[in-house]
Chain A
Amino acid sequence: MTRSRLELLQWFALFAGPLAWATEHVVGYGISDASCRVAGAQWGLDATVLQIVLAVLTAIVVIAAWLAAFVAFRETRSVDDYTPGPLGRIRFFAQAALLGNVLFFVIVVLDGVSTVHDLPCHQA
C-alpha cells in the first residue's frame, strides 16, 4: 500500500469515528428537543425515524473508521512502538483508533436502542 493511502487511512480512522459520534450526539439531542418543544411540534418531525437513520449512518461511519484502523495497524506490523514517524506514528494512531472507535460504536448502539423504544417526551 502506498504511503499516502496509509496516511489517509490513519487520519480517517482517528477522526471519522469521533466526529461522526459528535454529530449524532448533537443532532440527535436537537431532534429530541425539537420534536418535544413548542416550535418543533409544528414541524411534524418523525423523531423516531430520524433518530434511527442517524444512528445507523453513524454506526456505518464508525465501523468504517475501525476497519481503516485495522488495515493501517496490519500494514505497519513490521514496526515497533517507538519507530520514528511516519510509520511509527501511523501504527501508534492506528492502535489508538482501534480502541476509540469501539467505544464510539457502543455509545451509538446505546443511543439507537433508546430510540427504537420510542420514549415519551418526558418522564411520567
Chain B
Amino acid sequence: MAVVDRIEHLEELWLERPGGLGWLTTVDHKRIGILYFWTTIVFFAAGGTEALLMRTQLAQPDQTVVSPETYDQLMTMHGVTMIFFFIIPMTTGAFGNYLVPLMIGARDMAFPRLNALSYWIFLGSGIFMYSSFLVGQAPNAGWFDYVPLALRQYDGGLNIDFYALGLIFSGVASTAGALNLIVTIFKLRAPGMSWNRMPLFCFALLAASLSLIFALPALTVDCVFLELQRKLGFHFFDVAHGGDPLLWQHLFWIFGHPEVYIIVLPAFGIATSIIPTFARRRMVAFPLVAMAELLVAFIGFGVWAHHMFATGLTTTTLVFFAAASMMVVVPSTIQIYAWLMTVNLGTPDFRAPLMFIGGFIIFFVLGGLSGIMFAAVPFDQATTDTYFVVAHFHFIIFGAAVFPLLGGIYYWFPKVTGRMYDEQLARWSFWLTFVGTSLTFFPMHIVGLLGMTRRVYTYRHGLGWDAYNLVETIGGFILAAGLLLIAFNIVRSLRSGEPAGRDPFYGGTLEWTIPSPPPHYNFAVIPTVSSPYPNWDEPDREEDLRRLAQGELVLDGGHETPATTVNDAELAEILDMPPESPWPIVLSLVVTIAAFFLLTEHYVTAAFFLSLAVLALAGWHAAEPDTLPVRTARSKGWWGAVVFVATEATLFGTIVGTYIYLRLQNAHWPPPNVPKPPVLTPTLLTAALVLTSIPMYIASRAAGEGRRATAWRAITVAFVVQLAYLIWQVHDFVHTVHVYDPQQSAWASVFVTLLGADHLHVLAGVLFSAWFVLRIRSRLTRYRIVGLQGTAFYWHAVNVITAVVLVVQLSTRL
C-alpha cells in the first residue's frame, strides 16, 4: 500500500463525526483538551472578575462598592474558581490531555472515554458550584472554609453545602483525569522511550497526577465529614462531643499543600519544554531536573502543618514541619539553576514564550524567598493571615503557575491551530502582564508587614495602607489589560495568523514531528525514540519514514496504538481503542442532577439518579472490542485498577487516621456510656469475605489462561458469598447506627462513617462481580478478561481494607 493510501486509511479510521454532536461524544484527547481549555478560560474570566470587584472595593478605605456578605462570597469564589476550576483543569486537563499523548508517541490517552467523562464531570461540577450565585448563596467562608465558621450553626444557608458537594464532585473529575494521565504515561509510551528518554513535561504531569491521587482523598473525606455534621448532626469538629476543629485544618492542608505543587508542577513542565527549544540545547542536568519534579511532589506531602503554625501544635511537631518546609525548597532551586544554566550555555532566542518563562523565574524566585521565610516558625506566627502571605501565594500561583501557562499558550498555539500568533503583540502583552502582576502583588508584601490582615472587607483611613491598596487596584486593571491583549492576539491569530508549518520553533519533542494541527491519528507511524528530544534525532526521523513506507508499526488495522512495559517501554501489545461514545456525557448529566438533589436533601431522588448512573455505566461497557489478547505484560486496565485502589486506600487511610487522631484527644474512647462493638460476628463475616480472594484469584488466573468455565464458576462462588456478606452487613448497619448513634459522639461518628464507607466499597465490588457473572457466562473476550482481572485486584484491596476496619473495631476492646 502506498504511503498516501496508508495515511488516508488512518484518517478514515480515526475521524469522528462532524459538528456539535461530534464534540459532545468525542473521546479524542485533542478535542477534550480544547474543551478543557475554553471552559477553564471562562472560569478564569469569572475568577478574574471576582478579583477586580474585590480590588475595587479595597482601592480606598471605607468603601461600600459591594456589601460585606457579597464580598465574602466573591473572596471565597475567587479562590475556589482559580484553584479548582481554572488552574488544575487548565494544566492537567487542557495542556496534559492535549500534549502528553503527542509527546510520548501515542494515538490517545489510555482510557479515552474516561477522559471524556472527566471533562463532562468537571463542567457539571463547575455549573453546580456557580449555580450558587443564582440563589445568592455562593460559598462564603473562604477557599479553605475553616470550621467552626463553616458549621451549620454559624453558616446555616446552602453556601457551604455548595462548597463541600461541589468539591467532592469536582474531585471525581480530577481523580479520573489523574488516573488517566498516570496509566497513559506508564503504558502508552512509544517503544524505546524508557524512563530516561521521557520528556520532562511528562515527568511534571506524572508528579502532579500522582499527587492528585494521594492528596484528593483527604479533601474528599474532609468535605464528607463536614456535610455529615451539617446535614445529619454527626460530630467530627466540635470538642464538646470529642471532636476537634483542627481536624478540618489537618485534612484540608494534607490536601492543600500538595495542591500548590499540583498547580506549579505542570508550570515547571512547560518551562522545561520552552527553555531547551529557545536556548537551542538540551536541558542541563536532565536526570536531576526529572527527579527534582518528583521530589517536590513527594516532600510536599510532609509540610502541611506549616499552614497551622499559629494553632498551638506541639513544639516538636512545629520543628518537624519547619525542617521539611525548608528542605522542599532544594529541588525547586535545582530546577531554577538548571533552567538558568541551560539558557546561559545555549544561544537564547527571547521570543514571547521564553519571555514569559523569564517572568515566571523572577516571580517564582521572589515567591519562593517569601515562602522560605514562612518556614521559620516565629516569622510565620507574626505574618500568617496578613497580606504578606497573600503576596507570597499570588507570586507563586499567578507569577509561577499562570506565567508559564501564558508562555505555553503562545508556544503551542501554532501546533494546535496551524497558525502563528503576532510576535510583537505577544511581547507587548508580556510587558503589560508583567508590570500589572508586579504592581498588583508586590505592594501586598509591604502592606502585610504593616499589619493589613487578609480577607478584610474594608479598612480605616490613616493606617498607612491607602496608597498601597490603590496601587494594587491599578495594577490589577493593568494586569487585566495584559490578559485581554493576549486573548485578542489569540483570537485574531486564529482567524488570520500566518500558516505555522510543522515546526516553527524547532522544538525537541515529538509533537513537532507531526503536522499542525495534528491529524486525528496523531502519528502515521509509531515513532522511533532514542532520547527525550526525538525531533532533534535526525536518524530516528529517517527511520520513521522508512517504516512508514514498509508499513511497520503503522497500526492501521483498526483504532490501534501500542502499549509498552512500564520501565523500559518494550512493546507489549497492540491496543484497540474505543470510538466516540455518548455515555460519558450521559453519566455526567445524571450525576450532576443527583448532586443538586443531595444539596437540597432529597436523598431518595438522588439515589434514583445515582442508580441511573450505574445503568449508564452498564451501557458504557456493553459495547466492547472483540480482539483476543496478545500481551506480554500487565494491561493498562490492571494498572488503572492499581491507581484506583491507591486512591481508595488513601481515602480509608484518612478515615482511620482521623480515628487515631481523635483517639489521642479523648481520655475515654469510645465514651464510657457506649457499649463496645461485638467481636465474634464481625470477625467471622470478615473472614468469609477475605476468603473470597481465593475464588477471585482463581477466576482471574483462569480467565487469563482462556479457561472460561472455571473462571465463571469461581467468580459465581465469590459473588454469592460477597452478596450474602453485603446483605447481612446492610441489615446489621441499621442496627449499628441505632446503637452507636453518630449524633452522640465523635467516636460513633467516625466508627459509623468508617463502616459505611467500607460497605459502599463492598457494594461496588458486588456490582462488578455481578456484571462479570453475567458477561463471562457466554464468552471470554480480551475486554472481559482485563475487566475481571481489575475486579479481582479491587476485591483483594477491599478485603484488606475490611480487615483493617475489623482491627479498628476490635481495638476498642484494648
Q: Does A67 contact B (CB under 8 A)?
A: no
Residues from chain B with a CB closer than 8 A to the CB of A106 are 327
Give the Cβ gap from B403 to chain A, nearest Cβ, in Å: 27
In the complex, which residues 87-122 of chain A have their Cβ closer than 8 Å to any Cβ of chain B?
88-89, 91-93, 95-97, 99-100, 103, 106-107, 110-111, 114-115, 119-122
Total number of B residues with any Cβ neighbor in A under 8 Å: 48
Give the Cβ gap from B312 to chain A, nearest Cβ, in Å: 6
Give the Cβ gap from B342 to chain A, nearest Cβ, in Å: 15
Contacts A85-B196, A120-B315 supplied; 5 other A-B pairs, CB < 8 Å: A22-B302, A40-B664, A96-B288, A96-B294, A97-B291
Residues from chain B with a CB closer than 8 A to the CB of A39 are 663-667, 669
| Between-chain CB contacts (< 8 Å), 13 pairs | A29-B305, A37-B664, A38-B667, A84-B194, A86-B568, A89-B196, A89-B568, A95-B287, A96-B290, A99-B295, A99-B334, A107-B323, A123-B315
Q: Chain B 524-559 against A: per-residue CB contact (8 Å), 1 yes, 0 no?
A: 000000111000000000000000000000000000
Q: Chain B 660-683 against A: per-residue CB contact (8 Å), 1 yes, 0 no?
A: 110111110100000000000000
Q: Does A81 contact B (CB under 8 A)?
A: yes
Contact B291 A38 (CB under 8 A): no
Q: Does A58 contact B (CB under 8 A)?
A: no
Contact A38 B665 (CB under 8 A): yes
Top 7 A-B residue pairs of the complex, sorted by shortest distance between their CB atoms = A85-B568, A96-B291, A85-B194, A92-B196, A110-B323, A114-B319, A119-B315
A82–B292 alpha-carbon span in the complex (Å): 18
Q: Does B778 contact A (CB under 8 A)?
A: no
Q: Chain B 306-324 against A: per-residue CB contact (8 Å), 1 yes, 0 no?
A: 0000001011111110011
In the complex, which residues 49-96 of chain A have their Cβ closer than 8 Å to any Cβ of chain B?
51, 81-86, 88-89, 91-93, 95-96
A22–B297 alpha-carbon span in the complex (Å): 13
A107–B288 alpha-carbon span in the complex (Å): 19
**Among B291, B299, B320, contact of A114 (Cβ-Cβ < 8 Å):** B320
Give the Cβ gap from B56 to chain A, nearest Cβ, in Å: 40
Contact B302 A103 (CB under 8 A): no
Q: Does B139 contact A (CB under 8 A)?
A: no
**Among A82, A86, A100, A107, contact of B567 (Cβ-Cβ < 8 Å):** A86
A100–B401 alpha-carbon span in the complex (Å): 24
A19–B330 alpha-carbon span in the complex (Å): 19
Give the Cβ gap from A85 to chain B, nearest Cβ, in Å: 3
Q: For residue B195, which residue of chain A has the nearest CB?
A: A89
A25–B286 alpha-carbon span in the complex (Å): 29
A111–B568 alpha-carbon span in the complex (Å): 37
Q: Does B613 contact A (CB under 8 A)?
A: no
Residues from chain A with a CB closer than 8 A to the CB of B669 are 39
Q: For residue B657, which residue of chain A has the nearest CB?
A: A26
Contact A82 B196 (CB under 8 A): yes
Q: For residue A42, which residue of chain B has the nearest CB?
A: B667
Give the Cβ gap from B632 to chain A, nearest Cβ, in Å: 15
A12–B36 alpha-carbon span in the complex (Å): 39
Q: Does B418 contact A (CB under 8 A)?
A: no
Q: Does B331 contact A (CB under 8 A)?
A: yes
Residues of B within 8 A of A (CB): 192, 194-197, 286-288, 290-292, 294-295, 298-299, 301-302, 305, 312, 314-320, 323-324, 326-327, 330-331, 334, 530-532, 567-570, 660-661, 663-667, 669
Q: For residue B302, which residue of chain A has the nearest CB?
A: A25
In the complex, which residues 16-42 of chain A have their Cβ closer than 8 Å to any Cβ of chain B?
18, 21-22, 25, 28-30, 32-34, 36-40, 42
Q: Which applies to chain A's interface (DSSP): helix, strand, loop or mixed?
A: helix
Residues from chain A with a CB closer than 8 A to the CB of B286 are 81
Residues from chain B with a CB closer than 8 A to the CB of A29 are 305, 317, 320
Q: For residue A114, which residue of chain B has the nearest CB?
A: B319
Residues from chain A with a CB closer than 8 A to the CB of B666 are 38-39
A22–B298 alpha-carbon span in the complex (Å): 9
Contact B664 A33 (CB under 8 A): yes
Residues from chain A with a CB closer than 8 A to the CB of B530 are 82, 84
Residues from chain B with a CB closer than 8 A to the CB of A110 are 319, 323, 326-327
Residues from chain B with a CB closer than 8 A to the CB of A81 are 196, 286-287
Residues from chain B with a CB closer than 8 A to the CB of A84 are 192, 194, 197, 530, 568
Total number of A residues with any Cβ neighbor in B under 8 Å: 46
**Among A100, A111, A121, contact of B320 (Cβ-Cβ < 8 Å):** A111
Give the Cβ gap from B656 to chain A, nearest Cβ, in Å: 12
Contact A30 B194 (CB under 8 A): no
Residues from chain A with a CB closer than 8 A to the CB of B315 are 119-123
Residues from chain B with a CB closer than 8 A to the CB of A89 are 194-196, 567-568
Contact B291 A82 (CB under 8 A): no
Q: For residue A83, which residue of chain B has the nearest CB?
A: B196
Give the Cβ gap from A54 to chain B, nearest Cβ, in Å: 11
Residues from chain B with a CB closer than 8 A to the CB of A100 are 291, 295
Residues from chain B with a CB closer than 8 A to the CB of A18 are 298
Q: For residue B319, which residue of chain A has the nearest CB?
A: A114
A39–B660 alpha-carbon span in the complex (Å): 11
Residues from chain B with a CB closer than 8 A to the CB of A21 are 302
A34–B323 alpha-carbon span in the complex (Å): 20
Given A25-B324, A39-B666, A100-B291, A47-B316 contact (CB < 8 Å): yes
Give the Cβ gap from B150 to chain A, nearest Cβ, in Å: 24
Residues from chain B with a CB closer than 8 A to the CB of A25 are 302, 320, 324
Contact A85 B195 (CB under 8 A): yes
Contact B319 A111 (CB under 8 A): yes
Residues from chain A with a CB closer than 8 A to the CB of B194 are 84-86, 88-89
Q: For residue A39, which residue of chain B has the nearest CB?
A: B664
Residues from chain A with a CB closer than 8 A to the CB of B331 are 103
**Among B299, B305, B663, contact of A103 (Cβ-Cβ < 8 Å):** B299
Contact B295 A103 (CB under 8 A): yes
Give the Cβ gap from A123 to chain B, nearest Cβ, in Å: 6
**Among B192, B196, B316, contact of A51 (Cβ-Cβ < 8 Å):** B316
Q: For residue A79, which residue of chain B has the nearest CB?
A: B196
Give the Cβ gap from B331 to chain A, nearest Cβ, in Å: 7
Contact B327 A114 (CB under 8 A): no
Contact A91 B196 (CB under 8 A): yes
Contact B316 A95 (CB under 8 A): no
Residues from chain B with a CB closer than 8 A to the CB of A30 are 660, 664
A42–B663 alpha-carbon span in the complex (Å): 12
Residues from chain A with a CB closer than 8 A to the CB of B319 are 110-111, 114, 119
Give the Cβ gap from B805 to chain A, nearest Cβ, in Å: 20
Give the Cβ gap from A116 to chain B, nearest Cβ, in Å: 11
Give the Cβ gap from A45 to chain B, nearest Cβ, in Å: 11
Contact A93 B667 (CB under 8 A): no
Residues from chain B with a CB closer than 8 A to the CB of A103 are 295, 299, 327, 330-331
Give the Cβ gap from A11 to chain B, nearest Cβ, in Å: 10
**Among B192, B295, B317, B334, contact of A32 (Cβ-Cβ < 8 Å):** B317
A93–B294 alpha-carbon span in the complex (Å): 12
Q: For residue B323, which residue of chain A has the nearest CB?
A: A110
Give the Cβ gap from A48 to chain B, nearest Cβ, in Å: 9
Give the Cβ gap from A86 to chain B, nearest Cβ, in Å: 5
Contact B314 A121 (CB under 8 A): yes
Residues from chain B with a CB closer than 8 A to the CB of A33 are 314, 317, 661, 664
A28–B664 alpha-carbon span in the complex (Å): 14
Residues from chain A with a CB closer than 8 A to the CB of B305 are 29
Residues from chain B with a CB closer than 8 A to the CB of A123 are 315, 318
Give the Cβ gap from B247 to chain A, nearest Cβ, in Å: 12
Contact B291 A99 (CB under 8 A): yes
Residues from chain A with a CB closer than 8 A to the CB of B327 are 103, 106-107, 110
Give the Cβ gap from B93 to chain A, nearest Cβ, in Å: 28
Give the Cβ gap from B776 to chain A, nearest Cβ, in Å: 35
A33–B311 alpha-carbon span in the complex (Å): 14
- Which one of B319, B570, B669 has the highest number of Cβ atoms from chain A below 10 Å of its Cβ? B319
A38–B664 alpha-carbon span in the complex (Å): 7
Given A38-B665, A103-B327, A111-B320, A88-B301 contact (CB < 8 Å): no
